[in-house]
Amino acid sequence: MQMKKLSLANLPTRIGKLERLSQELGCSIYIKRDDQTGSEWSGNKIRKLEFSVQEALQQGADLLITTGGIQSNHCRATVAVAAHYGMKSAVLLRISEQPPVEGNYFLDLLMGADVKFCTREEYSTSRNEIMAAMAEEYRSRGYHPYIIPEGASNGVGTLGYYNAFHEILDQERELGIRFDTIVLATGSGGTAAGLNLANILGGHGRRIVAMAVCDDVKYFQDHCHRISIEALPYLVEQGEISQSEADRCAAALKPEDFEINDGYVGIGYAQSRPEELDHIKHIARLEGVVLDPVYTGKASYGLWNELREGGSLRGAGNILFIHTGGLYGLFPVSKSFIF
Ligand SMILES: *Cc1c(COP(=O)(O)O)cnc(C)c1O
């Protein structure tokens, strides 16, 4: 059944085989191009925004407020969607020093976002309070704000990748392939939560491995568990599941149902080790596929390592790697590459 959502992303996104990488590692690796969901709103966030911004419009909002790091793909996609609907946008960006105008931050400014900065400390302790205060201020000026949390990773946003999982099942039927294992990057948890929720509710039995780009296993398991539970009422409202199915799932779902690998965080969020940059270069040359340094580069590096002799993904069957986007975030680190 079709879910009710905005229709913004170019869907379905293509799936293709990574022939030379598969040969190199002696296994079967496919890639789903969620980096090609669009241009201005490219990447995974648009799938979630199709649901969250639908809710914003339903509530009569004329301003989207959201938050992320200075090079946030999510903020850039939100700013693009706001402009598309003639809405205003305001983004709270985490910085450590005065940032150069480049990459996603440049696009935020280009597409007319109001920008407010905060420190790492403020971001981790009080970003939601700061956004609430921003909303209050805009309200006093006559706006109707709608706040989207970090990464649109809440109950309603989780529907984006619940839906994407079903898109993958449809593509399996067309291609005549079963993807036994799905590998992706996880940062704010909504992508991993949505995929896992669809897998569990439908009893599809796939292995979904979320490679953390920050924090640790426990953080992501608790977070994915929480937002999956929050997504259940939305699935009932969409007619995807019944109330009793939602109740049963809420009672049975456990944090340990979400497989997280935190072995590839490296030196921290948006910080690259030389071996990660070398891996991005390797895949670019081997396959003509460009990964980003913050998310997909780390996740693919994790996949590559776990597929080598004795790794945890040896024998994982047909693997589907989801390219979740992030290209604009590569340009600000171009000087870190050695040629
Ligand atoms: C946000 C993001 C992710 C992580 O998705 P979450 O749903 O936040 O976990 C992965 N890749 C890219 C390029 C992203 O921008």
**Domain of 297: which CATH number?**
3.40.50.1100
Domain contains 6:
no
Looking at 99, 131, 151, the residue that finishes a domain is 151
> Catalytic residues, which ones?
72
Using a pLDDT cut of 70, give the percent of the chain over it.
100
Q: Which pLDDT does position 198 carry in this prediction?
A: 98
Q: Which pLDDT does position 122 carry in this prediction?
A: 98
Q: Rounded CA gap, 291 and 297, in Å?
A: 5
User: What ligand 1 atom has the least distance to the C-alpha of 48?
Assistant: 7
pTM score above 0.85:
yes
Q: Which pLDDT does position 151 carry in this prediction?
A: 98
Instruction: Ligand 1 pocket test: pick from 159, 191, 197 the residue with the most ligand atoms within 8 Å of its Cβ.
Output: 191
Q: Which pLDDT does position 197 carry in this prediction?
A: 98
Q: Which pLDDT does position 268 carry in this prediction?
A: 97
My answer on whether 32 and 52 are in the same domain is no
Residue stretches of the chain with pLDDT short of 70? none
Q: Which pLDDT does position 104 carry in this prediction?
A: 98
User: What ligand 1 atom has the least distance to the C-alpha of 292?
Assistant: 13
- Range of the structural domain that residue 299 is part of: 15-42+153-336
Domain contains 1:
no
- Cβ 151 under 6 angstroms from ligand 1: yes
Q: Which pLDDT does position 310 carry in this prediction?
A: 85
- Cβ 229 under 6 angstroms from ligand 1: no
